[in-house]
Amino acid sequence: MTEELHEIRLHVNGTSYALTVPGRRLLSDALRHDLGLTGTHVGCEHGVCGACTILVDGAPMRSCLMFAVSAVDAELTTVEGLADADGSLGPVQQAFLECHGLQCGFCTPGFLTTITAGLRDNPRPTHAEAREMVAGNLCRCTGYQNIVKAVERAAELGAGR
Amino acid sequence: MTTKLVGAKVQRVEDQRFLRGQGRYVDDIDVHAGTPTLHAAVLRSPHAHARVRDIDVEAVLDVEGVHAVWTYQDLADLSVNLADPLPLLIPHPALTHGRTQYALAKDEVNYVGEAVAFVVADDRYLAEDAVDRIRVDYEPLPPVVGIDAARAAEHLVHEDVPGNVGARLEQEVGDARAAIADAPHRLSLDLTVERSASTPLEGRGVVARWDPDIGRLQVWTSTQTSTGVRAAVAVKLGLDLGQVDVITPDVGGGFGVKINHPWPEELLVPAAARALGRTVKFTEDRREHFISAAHERGQVHHVEVGFDDDGRLLGLDVTFWHDHGAYTPYGLIVPIITSTQLLGPYKPQSYRVVFESLYTNTVMVTPYRGAGRPQGCFVMERTMDAIAAHLHKDRTEVRATNFIQPDEFPYDQGLVFQDGRELEYDSGDYPRSLEMIKRLVGWDEFEAFRAEMAAEGRRVGIGLACYVEGTGVGPYEGAHVHIETTGKVKVATGLTTQGQGHATVFAQLVADELGVPMTDVEVVTGDTRRMPYAVGTFASRSAVMSGSAVHLAAKRAKEKVLRIASDALEADVDDLEIVEGVVSVKGSPGASIDLGTVAVLSNPLRYAFDEKSRAATQFTVGDPGKPPVAEDDEPGLEGKDFYSPERSTFASGMHAVIVETDPDTAEVRILKYAVVHDCGNLINPMIVEGQIHGGIAQGVGGALYERMAYDEHGQLLNASFMDFLMPYVTEVPDTIEIDHLETPSPLNPIGVKGAGEAGVIPSAAVFAAAIEDAEAHDHPGLAITGMPISPSELFALRQAQEPLLKQHEEDA
Ligand code: FES
Ligand code: FES
């Protein structure tokens, strides 16, 4: 039994990669293990925790619920693509650092991508909106208070603009 | 002058990597040793209890891309010891019937999820395909699920364990039963806590590589004890300890579950790496974590208490039953902690506690953050509330009556703690904490707030709970500090890190002691190549144990720096100071030498390799009449030390919460959450507060949402994040008010106590109290005796009260 393989290209953080994958290869696995972009994490593989969230054409998506072959036409952004062009931390990353928004760091990439997209849609969230923005991601370490603070701080730093 | 870093809210150094997606967790490890990494998958029992009659792996053998398929029968060929049961890590004389599983099930399975067969293939997808093709002939046996069934013992989990009782342990101080019989007031309570689990976002995982050229095994594992895994792997694989390196990379949360070891996969993956000569990886998926890692918390308690008119505890008699699941690798640690830490800040005049640790056909139980303390706190604090209600007294007053007073430390509770040492509290100030928490939550103003809310038709309640937490248990930790010739400082300690910010706090300690900038200090944890002697990260012990060891090691390094510098600068040691990495003579800034140069001088050289090292070569330095390295000295600018305390330190705290319960839907809303916390001196308040936040979120989960829902067949019905309700941001308090009290521990050089678990300990107790209080007016007598409590359960409790209330009204 040999699996049919597909030759595809993925566009991630502005770089185009060629890879050969079976149809069932999850996008999360392709990013992590085929392209070596291990910043995207897998916490549940069933779409609930949000650790694997990446931006697909700017919109947050759970890469564990997508196949690599279905992402060929999209522009993908992972946590590795969130730093500023000069290499310094992007505003959402900087806000997490300042607010102690992470402990073990496993959920963090999913929060960073989610918030990046969230603040783009709503650069000046109210406190309730800041909470709402991260309400679909699980973190087992921080208790979320500092993550919400980080959303507000990132907005101050101009993340959405 | 360098500003002091210890005590300051220093930003974390490790965050730079994490925020850029450059963390290295175990599944990120990819060792390209010529050939790609192979992946393992495990066939797990679908039955809670069954005999394994036959395993047919025939269909797997010719699947392309499969490299190995193993069942129990194969283990002895891989290594003789591998066919023995897994180790019972913490033996205890009372654990008369301890049992552990095999790396792969032999003849019998005892929980859904137990490892039965192991496959290695080109990738995880293929390995799982192969697992699907293995056929196992099981003869199902009647499962024992839940504490009631275990106690009834109609069926047995292990044939040779009568009554399903693994252990029975009793401790008594004074004659509690007699004291209760003679007491002016008596109450009895039955209290239950359900199963939950640590549930880190990263599950378990192992990568192993065998290097045939040097006959050495390297293992990366997501563990809370690399030295523990190293010893276990060496023994089980028949290797010398010196042939095994265990490296703990970044760990995506532990919360207790990763202290258990070795997991079957932690042995099978290295065995496969050796047998196949390839790098092999196992990464657990979420369902596997639910059904084949470990749970905790499930206990049923019965309390008898006798007290006087002031609520003073005259006699306390607690019996409880602990569900330890199918096996007991971690011994009796959890129930021992419940039975001792239950006492909290109080001093009952007599106390008797007895527990039975019971087998069930469910996932085994090992510590989860709090480790038996949340249950103990729930029992004690529910009892306090019941006493207050009985005497119509303020709940804080009854507690204050029973507090150990500040002048009574060290206070010996007369019991034996989890480390086999006396339960002797080192320091604390409970009356002061109580004052602080009352102020912080607004205890005295609450009745006015309640009335205000009632006028709007809203129900609110307030609860308070106190705890004492034995932290920083032994036996020891060590640290090694190495000042390199660049002036950079490399620090290693053996315990592991899973989010606590060790790279930051240990660097703070070293930077302060050595007078170097923090950016020059690099900390490595959990790597047996760097520090082969260590215990592990559990029981809120890292700051106490490794913190102290790091401090002591830095001190030793500093002594050597000053000794060499005093020779070089021809000045007295007492006249020297180190600021920003430069040693100078106080008051004469011209006379100075940087740490890098001191490091060069510490190591007499034959060969120069750069400009700086020329200064240390044989024709340049040294007294020709003496050996280059003095008899009582060593080359290099290093300091190494170990810290091994007599006994644990005892942190303490109090939580208070105000909740609102919905009159119709019985939903619980958190209006205010307040914490007073005493973990001795604070190294980094930002990190301590983060630990408290995280603990409270887990506490909220345990109080209101999380339970392992087993059916009567032993199937875990909610083994996914969809069905096991962990709090999202929407479930936790919006803000948490925290006040710190710092009563330094006299037991260690930096005066710290542990902080990691505190947040979770009083949550169940505090929510039960607040919800009960909110309901008291409309449903007097409604008692919260089980945790967690869901809205439907609260609704059911209300319904159960209705007929009583009606009766009451009719009588009136
Ligand atoms: S890993 Fe994709 S949502 Fe959890
Ligand atoms: S920081 Fe560990 S899960 Fe969020």
Q: Which of A54, A81, A108 is the last residue of a domain?
A: A81
Starting at the earlier edge strand, list the strands of the sheet with B582-585. B576-579, B582-585, B588-594
Task: Mark whether A60 and A95 lie in a shared domain.
Answer: no
**Strand B280-283 to B38-44 pairing:** parallel
CATH at residue A123 = 1.10.150.120
Residue B338 has pLDDT above 50, yes or no: yes
In a domain, A31, yes or no: yes
What is the structure's pLDDT at B1? 41
Using CA atoms, how far apart are residues B497 and B522, in angstroms rounded to an integer?
14
CA of B807 to the centre of ligand 2 (A): 51
Instruction: Return the closest-CA partner of residue B164 out of B172, B175, B155.
Output: B155
- DSSP assignment of B355-379, as one string? EEEE--SS--B---TTTTHHHHHHH
In a domain, A23, yes or no: yes
In a domain, A63, yes or no: yes
Q: What is the pTM of this model?
A: 0.95
In contact, B434 and B655? CB cutoff 8 Å: no
Q: What is the pLDDT of residues B729-750, one digit of tens each?
A: 999 999 999 999 998 888 889 8
CA of A124 to the centre of ligand 1 (A): 27
Burial of B791 (0-12, 13-18, 19+ CB in 10 A): middle
- Comparing B390 with A161, the larger pLDDT belongs to B390
Using CA atoms, how far apart are residues B798 and B793, in angstroms rounded to an integer?
9
Question: Which residue in chain B is spatially nearest to A54 when comparing CA positions?
Answer: B21
Neighbouring C-alpha atoms within 13 Å toward the C-beta of B405:
3
Using CA atoms, how far apart are residues B758 and B470, in angstroms rounded to an integer?
10
> For chain A, what is the radius of gyration of the CA atoms?
16
Partner A contacted by B757 (CB < 8 A) = no
Task: Mark whether A68 and A119 lie in a shared domain.
Answer: no
Task: Mark whether A98 and A64 lie in a shared domain.
Answer: no
Q: What is the pLDDT of residues A33-90, one digit of tens each?
A: 999 999 999 999 999 999 999 999 999 999 999 999 999 999 999 999 999 989 999 9
In a domain, A86, yes or no: no
Interface mutation vs chain A, best among B11, B15, B199, B498, most A CBs within 10 Å: B15
Contacts of B234 (CB under 8 A, 6+ apart): B240, B241, B243, B244
Atom of ligand 2 nearest to the CA of A141: 2
In contact, B301 and B323? CB cutoff 8 Å: no
Tell if the CB–CB gap between B20 and A148 is shorter than 8 Å: no
Question: Which residue in chain A is spatially nearest to B287 when comparing CA positions?
Answer: A44
- DSSP assignment of B107-136, as one string? SEE-STT-EEEEEEESSHHHHHHHHHH-EE
Output DSSP code: residue A89: P
Task: Mark whether A50 and A99 lie in a shared domain.
Answer: no
Question: Hey, which residues does B508 pair with through a beta bridge?
Answer: none
In a domain, A69, yes or no: yes
Using CA atoms, how far apart are residues B687 and B9, in angstroms rounded to an integer?
8
What is the structure's pLDDT at B646? 86
Q: What is the mean pLDDT of chain B?
A: 94
Residue B2 has pLDDT above 60, yes or no: no
Instruction: Provide the number of structural domains found in chain A.
Output: 2
What is the structure's pLDDT at B805? 65
Residue A1 has pLDDT above 60, yes or no: no
**Strand A53-56 to B205-211 pairing:** unpaired
Q: What is the pLDDT of residues A81-117, one digit of tens each?
A: 999 989 999 999 999 999 999 999 999 999 999 999 9
The kind and range of the H/E element at B186 are strand B185-193
Output DSSP code: residue B527: B
Closest ligand (CA of A64): 1
Q: What is the pLDDT of residues B40-82, one digit of tens each?
A: 999 999 999 999 999 999 999 888 999 999 999 999 999 999 9
CA of B762 to the centre of ligand 1 (A): 31
Distances (CA, A) of B349 to A32, B180, B308, B398: 60, 10, 11, 15
CATH at residue A11 = 3.10.20.30
Using CA atoms, how far apart are residues B183 and B186, in angstroms rounded to an integer?
7
Tell if the CB–CB gap between A39 and B21 is shorter than 8 Å: yes
Task: Mark whether A9 and A70 lie in a shared domain.
Answer: yes
Closest ligand (CA of B27): 1
Partner A contacted by B107 (CB < 8 A) = no
Place of tokens 């260590």: B534
Task: Mark whether A96 and A76 lie in a shared domain.
Answer: no
Task: Mark whether A70 and A10 lie in a shared domain.
Answer: yes
Using CA atoms, how far apart are residues B693 and A102, in angstroms rounded to an integer?
11
In contact, B445 and B630? CB cutoff 8 Å: no
Distances (CA, A) of B811 to B461, B804, B805, B806, B807: 28, 10, 10, 8, 6
Residue A43 in contact with ligand 1 by CB distance below 6 A: yes
Q: Which of A51, A81, A111 is the last residue of a domain?
A: A81
In contact, B561 and B595? CB cutoff 8 Å: yes
Percent of chain B with pLDDT over 90: 83
Burial of A18 (0-12, 13-18, 19+ CB in 10 A): exposed
Instruction: Return the closest-CA partner of residue B510 out of B668, B323, B639.
Output: B639
In contact, B185 and B308? CB cutoff 8 Å: yes
Instruction: Return the closest-CA partner of residue B652 out of B426, B398, B316.
Output: B426
**Strand B165-173 to B66-70 pairing:** unpaired
What is the structure's pLDDT at B627? 85
Using CA atoms, how far apart are residues B673 and B679, in angstroms rounded to an integer?
19
Q: What is the pLDDT of residues B536-552, one digit of tens each?
A: 888 788 888 888 999 99
Q: Which of A81, A101, A124 is the last residue of a domain?
A: A81
> For chain B, what is the radius of gyration of the CA atoms?
29
- The answer to whether the bond into B803 is cis (omega within 30° of 0) is no
Task: Mark whether A72 and A95 lie in a shared domain.
Answer: no
Distances (CA, A) of A64 to A34, A45, A68, B168, B452: 14, 5, 10, 46, 49
Q: What is the pLDDT of residues B436-490, one digit of tens each?
A: 999 999 999 999 999 999 999 999 999 999 999 988 888 998 999 999 999 999 9
Partner B contacted by A17 (CB < 8 A) = no
Percent of chain A with pLDDT over 90: 94
CB-based contacts of B710-714 (< 8 A; 24+ apart in sequence):
B710/B145, B710/B146, B710/B195, B710/B362, B711/B145, B712/B143, B712/B145, B713/B48, B713/B143, B713/B145, B714/B47, B714/B48, B714/B49, B714/B111, B714/B112, B714/B143, B714/B145, B714/B361, B714/B362
What is the structure's pLDDT at B3? 73
Using CA atoms, how far apart are residues B333 and B673, in angstroms rounded to an integer?
30
CA of B555, closest CA in chain A: separation in Å?
29
Task: Mark whether A123 and A141 lie in a shared domain.
Answer: yes
In a domain, A54, yes or no: yes
Which residue segments constitute the domains of chain B, with CATH numbers given?
408-471+647-812 (3.30.365.10), 477-602+637-643 (3.30.365.10)
Task: Mark whether A74 and A103 lie in a shared domain.
Answer: no
Q: What is the pLDDT of residues B282-314, one digit of tens each?
A: 999 999 999 999 999 999 999 999 999 999 999
Binding-face residues of B in 157-196 toward A, CB within 8 A: none
Residue B787 has pLDDT above 80, yes or no: yes
Residue A26 in contact with ligand 1 by CB distance below 6 A: no
Residue B428 has pLDDT above 80, yes or no: yes
- DSSP assignment of B594-611, as one string? EHHHHHHHTS-BSS--ST
Residue B32 has pLDDT above 90, yes or no: no
In a domain, A71, yes or no: yes
- Angle between the N-to-C axes of helices B395-402 and B373-391, in degrees from 0 to 180, rounded to the nearest 10: 110
Percent of chain B with pLDDT over 70: 98
The residue length of chain A stands at 161
In a domain, A161, yes or no: no
Helix (H, G, I), strand (E, B) or coil at B271: helix
User: Domain range holding A117?
Assistant: 91-156
Task: Mark whether A112 and A60 lie in a shared domain.
Answer: no
Task: Mark whether A122 and A61 lie in a shared domain.
Answer: no
**Strand B576-579 to A59-62 pairing:** unpaired
Q: Which of B199, B689, B692 sits opposite A140 (nearest CB)?
A: B199
Instruction: Return the closest-CA partner of residue B732 out of A143, A138, A149.
Output: A143
What amino acid is encoded at A35 in this protein? L
Residue B19 in contact with ligand 2 by CB distance below 6 A: no
Burial of B326 (0-12, 13-18, 19+ CB in 10 A): buried
